Amino acid sequence: MIQDPVLATFCDTFNKLDNTCTEKLYSIYSSDIVFIDPLHRVEGIEALKRDFDALYANVIDCRFRFHHGLRDGDRGFVCWTMALRHRRLCKGRQIDVEGCSVLRFASPDGGKVVHHQDHFDAGALLYERLPLLGAVIRSIKRHAAG
């Protein structure tokens, strides 16, 4: 459970997003947000909303379990497990991916997020789930592990 009220509000709002209400992004992100994850980089709230609209278009369900979080002034992070069901991945079956979000807020007291960078295994989320590429990546991982 996240104890910090600024992080808790961020996490609660993020978990309410779905394909019908991506406008909730406006309540947690600044107009000049920079959002980065292993798959892309988006700058500006309007571009981020368009991106989330496209991402959520085929999402059946997406929920985050936020495990740990810490904020020190305008910097913070949250560790999470994403449970995703997507029409185009794994025939709609749930995919669990561990990750961490590093956040920078508009002020030391919190405010809206101005920089958000996610760290997670893009292979576990996407690449390993693709028919041909997935087999190749899984084979490489097996060889690298032992």
Residue 126 lies in a domain: no
Instruction: Note whether 4 and 70 are within 8 A (CB).
Output: yes
Residue 140 lies in a domain: no
Q: Is the pLDDT of residue 114 over 70?
A: yes
**pTM for the structure as a whole:** 0.86
Residue 56 lies in a domain: yes
Residue 59 lies in a domain: yes
pLDDT given for residue 124 in this prediction? 72
Radius of gyration in angstroms for the set of CA atoms belonging to the chain, rounded to a whole number: 16
Based on the structure, what is the number of domains in the chain? 1
Q: What is the pLDDT of residues 37-70, one digit of tens each?
A: 998 999 999 999 999 999 999 999 999 999 999 9
pLDDT given for residue 88 in this prediction? 82
Looking at residue 29, which CATH number applies to its domain? Answer: 3.10.450.50
Residue 63 lies in a domain: yes
Question: Range of 11's domain?
Answer: 5-121
pLDDT given for residue 3 in this prediction? 92
In sequence order, what are the residues at sequence separation of 6 or more whose Cβ sits closer than 8 angstroms to the Cβ of residue 92? 60, 85, 86
Q: Is the pLDDT of residue 126 over 70?
A: no
Residue whose token pair is 């979000």: 101
